């Protein structure tokens, strides 16, 4: 047994832990917290309340399989979130939606009245549900401490716990005035609680299965001795199955629309991809929960057979029965977690709805006249704080005076059925363009009326007047006509209310024309994927508005700095001049969004409307504009594609132009070099000619020398000109290559013969090394002779008398390798590549200039390249080696080149 | 007798200049590159130096730079004889302190007249 004081201390420590986690998460904001999809997925388990923790066990023990739909419904529908919730998250993000009321009412024309009705529906459904949690806390507290429930508020421990929760919620729930902001602290604390409650129920489950009993089959075997075991664990025929299915539908609907689920799944969603994790993780979580309900429920029945105990509290009673205080307290803490996470999230989201959809738009909007942003912000958060306290006090009162006697299960289900009345409008918002405000509102009100008379009155009124008779009873009897014999009460009301609700919604929507604003948002909601990038463009508004007026309003809520910053971003995004005075539709929507998180979408609209003058637009016009904007968007896409293409083209052009400029410069350089090369022999010729012409008494010997000079320099001139033209032809591929099989040794000899005497003149030692495995190779023989003569001629020029020239012929993998070495001065390392450039010598001052056109090596390189080979020069030992490599089959190379050409 | 150094790496150009200046009565010194010019300048002060620009080892511009730092050579006339005929090079040569810039091919007669005028 545990004393009240000790347990209360444990509770305090537990709450302190939550505060700490929330505090750390808010403070650190580390990536681990923010980007963790499991925190998001775990926070969704706020769904599992005291009802799950205690109520389901009671249902399993007394009504059999009916405990399952609460889990099966969500498990079935959650995978569809990948589609549904992804869209809702997008819609909510671009519209700064902060609650389910905002979400639905914005779609139906941003209607203030609709959002107020939805808020009231949520309050009606959820406040008793919160009361239920308080009840569970109180009852289990007294159960654990084995004390009687105190009627006095001041001595009821639940009172203090509730006050602490209210403080926690109001502190961490209102940290940001923008309600669409993510509350990392709260989410993290809820995720922790979700983990703990599952962990504790697993401990209890294992305790029951393996400690109290001898495994799962032991419980099953013993429990199956009960007379009602079979009945409780089957559907009991088609009738039971239909009831069961409808219960699944109720919970499946609730998991999507329940304000606390909308809050955790949509408003607190940081990244769309987290939904991907949630759709398997959350069903798995629920599945683990359900697995342990059966053994605990039936184990409880076996243990307490014949005793009068509430089966809803088996989970605490079992460990208590076995005097295991630790597990008792853990289970209590798990239940406490379920309760307080529900209370916290529900009170926060309801307070947002209460403040943004009811209090501010219906009364307090005028209060925000103050120019002082800080004052206004404080007012908003104070309204929310006040709302949270008011909600929790309402729930507390409910717990104290209405639901003490009712079961967890029934209140929970009624709450689900009431919330399910939002389903037609909710799902219609995402899937149906024609859905109208009138239809949604009428359907909702009719559905609510049915719920009210069918469920709420009997539940709360009858529970206090069990035997009531008279007019009201008679009135109810007249409705017996609608009774469906095989459905139990809750599925029956669910069926009728939703039938009427959906029917009215559909009929009225198709038979009346919606307002243009509704239709505008209908398009935005249904086609969110198209508008996600520039949703402000999809908003249709026509009229007169001035930026300065709107700016004034923004400043009242955002402050001067943030307003300026927001405007800068807007102007940048849409490329608008900051001096623009009139506001367009995009700016109106942008401003409404900025305000929406703080005061709700409806109030934001009202405030903006106050300073703008909107012209009426007919529905037809709206549809036209939307059609246009859709076309614009696709046109835009096409234009983007085209502009990308243009960009690529212009890049290509620029590259081509750069290439041309480079080529042009190369050509200029080349011409410069050519002119220079030509001027030198011309100078010599001219000077000799001048002397011969002017000087009559020139000695015969000298005269001859000058005349010879004229002849050799003329030859040089024509050599240069020939080489230039030849190289040009080579470069432009105008010289056809006659590639055929030739004997390389013979070709070499043919090249060598004409210059052999020059080599002998300089007493140069010439040698050949033949390492060839084969002699026949594919090449153009005439070009190869030219190549040999150029390289050998070059070697001859640079080799000193009595030097050495050595030619080495080899082949490797069909490649022909020619190495020609000569002794002589090394080429500077940095010039080894450049010597193959045209007129390299004349540009380089540092080597002695032998006679020649300056184009020899450039021609060699061209000849080798044309046959797919390479040429390079290296300094080796006492001289320089030129290495020429020709590919095995030049024909193959040529084919490859031609194919490449034909491709481009 | 006026002393002249003629520097060029083209043998046939040197030949005609040497013949013509000798015949006109100059004391002609032949250099194949800039370093050979500087060799001569160690022992003598010429009246005229004809400098090719593109020469191995030491080019005409660098040779002029060294000449213009030598105080004893301040009266020596330096004339570039070059196949480089673009205005940038001409400007550069004159800015560096050459007395004239003559582009190839030139008339030996006119070149001599130009030199004569420098001494008047």
ipTM of the complex: 0.92
Look at A686 and B57 and tell me if their CB atoms are within 8 Å. no
Look at A702 and B19 and tell me if their CB atoms are within 8 Å. yes
- Alpha carbon B71 to its chain centroid, in Å, reads 18
Task: Tell me which of B9, B11, B12, B104 to substitute to probe the interface with A (most A C-beta atoms closer than 10 Å).
Answer: B12
pLDDT band at B48 (very low <50, low <70, confident <90, very high): very high
Domain B3-118, what architecture? 3-Layer(aba) Sandwich (3.40)
| Cα A374 to Cα A474: distance, rounded to the nearest angstrom | 58
Q: Given this model, what pLDDT does residue A847 score?
A: 47
C-beta separation of A832 from A872 below 8 A? yes
Q: Given this model, what pLDDT does residue A150 score?
A: 67
Q: Is the pLDDT of residue B25 over 70?
A: yes
Give the A:B interface size as CB pairs under 8 Å. 73
From A565, A436, A448, select the one nearest A512 (Cα to Cα).
A436
Half-sphere exposure of A661 (CA within 13 A, CB side): 6
Look at B12 and A695 and tell me if their CB atoms are within 8 Å. no
Task: Tell me which of A672, A673, A684 to substitute to probe the interface with B (most B C-beta atoms closer than 10 Å).
Answer: A684
C-beta separation of A597 from A96 below 8 A? yes
pLDDT in tens, A769-813: 888 888 888 888 888 888 898 888 888 888 888 889 999 998 888
From A591, A474, A469, A590, select the one nearest A537 (Cα to Cα).
A590
Locate the domains of chain A by residue range: 4-401, 533-613, 622-727, 736-903
Distance from CA of A683 to the nearest CA of B (A): 4
Distance from CA of B16 to the nearest CA of A (A): 6
What is the total residue count of chain B?
120
Q: Is the pLDDT of residue A865 over 80?
A: yes
Q: Is the pLDDT of residue B17 over 50?
A: yes
Chain A CA closest to residue B57: A846
Residue B73 makes CB contacts below 8 A (sequence gap 6+) with: B41, B45, B67
Distance from CA of A733 to the nearest CA of B (A): 32
pLDDT band at A460 (very low <50, low <70, confident <90, very high): low
| Cα A269 to Cα A134: distance, rounded to the nearest angstrom | 28
Residue A827 near chain B (CB below 8 Å): no
Q: Is the pLDDT of residue A745 over 50?
A: yes
Is the domain defined by A4-401 classed in CATH 1.20.1730.10?
Answer: yes
Tokens of residue A553, six digits: 């309003």
**Average pLDDT of the segment spanning A455-475:** 62
Could you tell me the CA-to-CA distances from A184 to A39, A40, A121, A828 in Å, in that order? 10, 10, 28, 68
Residues of B in contact with A828 (CB under 8 A): none
Residues of B in contact with A706 (CB under 8 A): 15-16
Chain B CA closest to residue A687: B16
Look at B12 and A713 and tell me if their CB atoms are within 8 Å. yes
Look at A683 and B104 and tell me if their CB atoms are within 8 Å. yes
Q: Is the pLDDT of residue A124 over 80?
A: yes
Look at B23 and A695 and tell me if their CB atoms are within 8 Å. yes
- Judged by phi (left if over 0) then psi (alpha if -120 to 50, else beta), residue A237 lies in left
C-beta separation of A418 from A124 below 8 A? yes
pTM: 0.62
Look at A675 and B83 and tell me if their CB atoms are within 8 Å. yes
Q: Given this model, what pLDDT does residue A630 score?
A: 62
pLDDT band at A303 (very low <50, low <70, confident <90, very high): confident
- What is the dotted CATH code of the domain comprising A736-903? 3.30.565.10
Look at A680 and B17 and tell me if their CB atoms are within 8 Å. no
Look at A848 and B16 and tell me if their CB atoms are within 8 Å. no
Q: Given this model, what pLDDT does residue B38 score?
A: 92
Q: Which of A278-292, A769-783, A839-853 has the lowest mean pLDDT?
A: A839-853
| Strands ordered across the beta sheet of A815-823 | A765-771, A804-812, A815-823, A879-886, A870-876
**Average pLDDT of the segment spanning A193-219:** 89
Look at A672 and B17 and tell me if their CB atoms are within 8 Å. no
Q: Is the pLDDT of residue A894 over 70?
A: no
Q: Is the pLDDT of residue A685 over 70?
A: yes
Identify the sign of the CA torsion A506, A508, A511, A515: negative
Chain B CA closest to residue A688: B16
Q: Could you say which of A675, A687, A706 has the minimum Cβ distance to residue B108?
A: A687
Residue A704 near chain B (CB below 8 Å): no
pLDDT in tens, B54-72: 887 888 999 999 999 888 8
Look at B16 and A688 and tell me if their CB atoms are within 8 Å. yes
| Cα B16 to Cα B106: distance, rounded to the nearest angstrom | 12
- b/e burial code for range A711-739 (CB count within 10 A of at least 16 → b): eebeebbeebeebbebbeebeeeebebeb
- What is the dotted CATH code of the domain comprising A622-727? 1.10.287.130
pLDDT band at B46 (very low <50, low <70, confident <90, very high): very high
pLDDT band at A7 (very low <50, low <70, confident <90, very high): confident
Distance from CA of B73 to the nearest CA of A (A): 25
- b/e burial code for range A864-886 (CB count within 10 A of at least 16 → b): bebbbbebebeeeeebbbbbbbb
Task: Tell me which of B17, B57, B105 to substitute to probe the interface with A (most A C-beta atoms closer than 10 Å).
Answer: B105
Q: Given this model, what pLDDT does residue B20 score?
A: 92
Look at B105 and A687 and tell me if their CB atoms are within 8 Å. yes
Residues of A in contact with B107 (CB under 8 A): 686, 690
Q: Is the pLDDT of residue A465 over 80?
A: no
Q: Could you list the beta-strand ranges (E) of A631-698.
A: none
Q: Is the pLDDT of residue B102 over 90?
A: yes
pLDDT band at A720 (very low <50, low <70, confident <90, very high): confident
How confident is the prediction for chain A on average, in pLDDT? 82
Look at B105 and A849 and tell me if their CB atoms are within 8 Å. no
Residue A680 makes CB contacts below 8 A (sequence gap 6+) with: B10, B13, B83, B104
Chain B CA closest to residue A697: B23
Look at A683 and B10 and tell me if their CB atoms are within 8 Å. yes
Residue A604 makes CB contacts below 8 A (sequence gap 6+) with: A591, A592, A593, A594, A595, A596, A598
Residues of B in contact with A688 (CB under 8 A): 12, 16
Locate the domains of chain B by residue range: 3-118
Residues of B in contact with A851 (CB under 8 A): none
Q: Could you say which of B15, B55, B108 has the minimum Cβ distance to residue A845?
A: B55
Residue A683 near chain B (CB below 8 Å): yes
From A876, A857, A869, select the one nearest A791 (Cα to Cα).
A857
pLDDT in tens, A61-89: 887 787 888 888 999 999 998 888 889 99
pLDDT in tens, A593-630: 888 878 878 788 888 877 787 777 766 676 676 666 66
C-beta separation of B9 from B56 below 8 A? yes
C-beta separation of A249 from A417 below 8 A? no
Q: Could you say which of B20, B54, B103 has the minimum Cβ distance to residue A691?
A: B20
Distance from CA of A789 to the nearest CA of B (A): 24
Look at B13 and A713 and tell me if their CB atoms are within 8 Å. no
Look at B19 and A691 and tell me if their CB atoms are within 8 Å. yes
Q: Given this model, what pLDDT does residue A903 score?
A: 41
Look at A687 and B86 and tell me if their CB atoms are within 8 Å. no
Q: Given this model, what pLDDT does residue B106 score?
A: 92
Q: Report which of residues A668 and A265 the model is more confident about.
A: A265
**Average pLDDT of the segment spanning A131-158:** 78
Residues of A in contact with B85 (CB under 8 A): 675, 679
- Strand pairing class (A815-823; A879-886): antiparallel
pLDDT in tens, A316-348: 888 888 888 888 889 889 988 888 888 888 988
Q: Given this model, what pLDDT does residue B114 score?
A: 92
The contact set of B with A (CB < 8 A) is 9-10, 12-13, 15-17, 19-20, 23, 54-57, 59, 83-86, 103-109
Q: Given this model, what pLDDT does residue A846 score?
A: 45
Q: Given this model, what pLDDT does residue A573 score?
A: 75
Residues of A in contact with B108 (CB under 8 A): 687, 690-691
Q: Could you say which of B55, B86, B107 has the minimum Cβ distance to residue A690?
A: B107
| Cα A207 to Cα A215: distance, rounded to the nearest angstrom | 10
Q: What residues form DSSP beta bridges with A741?
A: A778
Residues of B in contact with A683 (CB under 8 A): 10, 13, 83, 104-106
**Average pLDDT of the segment spanning A843-857:** 60
Residues of B in contact with A845 (CB under 8 A): 54-57, 59
Look at B23 and A682 and tell me if their CB atoms are within 8 Å. no
Half-sphere exposure of A49 (CA within 13 A, CB side): 31
Q: Is the pLDDT of residue A902 over 50?
A: no
Look at A679 and B86 and tell me if their CB atoms are within 8 Å. no
In percent, how much of chain A has pLDDT > 90?
11
């Amino acid at each position: 047994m545990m004393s009240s004081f000790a347990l209360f201390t444990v509770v305090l420590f537990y709450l302190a832990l939550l505060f700490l986690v929330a505090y750390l998460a808010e403070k650190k904001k580390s990536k681990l917290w923010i980007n963790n999809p499991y925190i998001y997925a775990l926070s969704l388990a706020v769904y599992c309340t005291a009802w799950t923790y205690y109520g389901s066990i009671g249902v399993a023990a007394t009504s059999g399989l009916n405990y399952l739909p609460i889990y099966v419904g969500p498990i079935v529908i959650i995978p569809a979130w990948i589609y549904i919730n992804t869209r809702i998250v997008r819609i909510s993000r671009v519209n700064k939606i902060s609650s389910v009321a905002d979400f639905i009412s914005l779609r139906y024309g941003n209607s203030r009245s609709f959002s107020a009705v939805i808020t009231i529906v949520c309050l009606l459904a959820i406040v008793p549900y919160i009361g239920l949690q308080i009840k569970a806390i109180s009852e289990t507290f007294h159960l654990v401490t084995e004390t009687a429930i105190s009627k006095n508020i001041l001595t009821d421990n639940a009172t203090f716990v509730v006050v602490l929760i209210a403080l926690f919620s109001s502190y961490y729930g209102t940290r940001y005035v923008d309600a669409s902001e993510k509350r990392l602290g709260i989410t993290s604390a809820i995720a922790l609680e979700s983990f703990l409650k599952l962990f504790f129920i697993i401990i209890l489950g294992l305790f029951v299965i393996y400690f109290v009993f001898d495994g799962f089959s032991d419980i099953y075997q013993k429990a199956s001795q009960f007379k009602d075991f079979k009945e409780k664990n089957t559907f009991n025929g088609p009738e039971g199955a239909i009831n069961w299915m409808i219960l699944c539908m109720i919970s499946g609907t609730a998991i999507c629309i329940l304000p606390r689920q909308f809050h955790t799944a949509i408003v607190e969603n940081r990244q769309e991809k987290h939904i991907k994790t949630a759709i398997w993780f959350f069903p798995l979580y629920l599945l683990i929960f359900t697995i342990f309900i059966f053994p605990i429920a039936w184990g409880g029945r076996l243990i307490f057979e014949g005793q009068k105990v509430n089966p809803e509290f088996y989970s605490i009673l079992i460990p208590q029965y076995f005097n295991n205080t630790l597990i008792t307290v853990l289970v209590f803490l798990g239940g406490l977690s379920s309760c307080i996470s529900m209370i916290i999230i529900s009170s926060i989201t309801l307070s947002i709805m209460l403040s943004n959809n009811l209090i501010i738009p219906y009364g307090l909007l005028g209060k925000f006249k103050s120019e002082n942003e800080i004052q206004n912000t404080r007012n908003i958060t104070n309204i929310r704080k006040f709302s949270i306290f008011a909600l929790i006090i309402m729930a507390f009162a409910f717990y104290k005076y209405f639901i003490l006697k009712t079961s967890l299960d029934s209140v929970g289900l009624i709450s689900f059925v009431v919330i399910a009345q939002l389903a037609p409008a909710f799902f219609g918002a995402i899937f149906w363009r024609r859905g109208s405000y009138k239809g949604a509102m009428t359907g909702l009100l009719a559905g609510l009326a049915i719920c009210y008379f069918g469920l709420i009155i009997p539940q709360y009124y009858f529970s206090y007047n069990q035997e009531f008779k008279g007019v009201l009873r008679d009135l109810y009897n007249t409705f017996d006509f609608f009774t469906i014999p095989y459905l139990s009460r809750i599925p029956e009301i669910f069926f009728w209310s939703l039938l009427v609700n959906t029917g009215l919604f559909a009929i009225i929507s198709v038979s009346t024309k919606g307002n243009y604003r509704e239709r505008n948002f209908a398009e935005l909601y249904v086609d969110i994927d198209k508008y996600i990038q520039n949703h402000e463009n999809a908003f249709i508004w026509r009229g007169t508005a001035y930026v300065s007026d709107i700016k004034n309003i923004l400043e009242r809520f955002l402050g001067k700095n943030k307003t300026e910053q927001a405007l800068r971003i807007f102007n940048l995004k849409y490329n608008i001049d900051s001096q623009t005075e009139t506001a367009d539709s995009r700016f109106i929507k942008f401003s409404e969004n900025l305000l929406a998180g703080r005061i709700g979408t409806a109030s934001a609209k009202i405030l903006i409307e106050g300073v703008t003058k909107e012209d009426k637009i007919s529905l037809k016009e709206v549809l036209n504009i939307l059609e246009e904007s859709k076309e614009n968007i696709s046109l835009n896409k096409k234009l983007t594609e085209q502009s990308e293409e243009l960009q690529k083209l212009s890049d290509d052009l620029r590259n081509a132009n750069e290439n041309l400029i480079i080529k042009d410069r190369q050509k200029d350089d080349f011409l410069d070099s050519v002119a220079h090369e030509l001027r030198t022999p011309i100078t010599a010729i001219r000077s000799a000619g001048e002397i011969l012409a002017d000087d009559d008494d020139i000695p015969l010997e000298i005269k001859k020398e000058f005349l010879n000079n004229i002849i050799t320099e003329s030859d040089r001139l024509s050599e240069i000109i020939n080489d230039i033209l030849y190289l040009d032809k080579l470069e432009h591929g105008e010289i056809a290559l006659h590639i055929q099989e030739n004997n390389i040794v013979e070709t070499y000899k043919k090249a060598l013969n004409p210059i052999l005497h020059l080599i002998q003149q300089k007493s140069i030692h010439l040698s050949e090394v033949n390492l060839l495995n084969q002699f026949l190779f594919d090449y153009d023989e005439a070009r190869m002779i030219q190549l040999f003569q150029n390289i050998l001629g070059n070697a001859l020029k640079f080799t000193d008398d009595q030097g050495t020239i050595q030619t080495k012929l080899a082949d490797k993998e069909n490649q022909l390798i020619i190495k020609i070495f000569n002794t002589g001065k090394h080429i500077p390392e940095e010039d080894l590549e450049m010597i193959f450039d045209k007129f390299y010598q004349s540009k380089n001052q540092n080597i002695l200039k032998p006679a020649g056109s300056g184009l020899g090596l450039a021609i060699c390189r061209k000849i080798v390249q044309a046959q797919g080979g390479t040429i390079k020069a290296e300094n080796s030992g006492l001289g320089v080696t030129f290495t020429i490599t020709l590919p095995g089959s030049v024909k193959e190379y040529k084919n490859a080149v031609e194919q490449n050409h034909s491709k481009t | 007798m006026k002393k002249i150094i003629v520097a060029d790496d083209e043998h046939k150009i040197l030949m005609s200049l040497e013949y013509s200046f000798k015949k006109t009565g100059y004391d002609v010194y032949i250099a194949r590159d800039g370093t050979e010019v500087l060799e001569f300048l160690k022992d003598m002060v010429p009246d005229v130096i004809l400098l090719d620009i593109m020469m191995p080892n030491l080019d005409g511009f660098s040779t002029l730079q060294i000449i213009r730092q030598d105080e004893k050579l301040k009266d020596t006339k330096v004339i570039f004889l070059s196949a480089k005929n673009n205005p940038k090079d001409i400007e550069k040569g004159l800015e560096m302190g050459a007395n004239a810039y003559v582009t190839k091919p030139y008339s030996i007669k006119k070149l001599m007249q130009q030199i004569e005028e420098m001494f008047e």
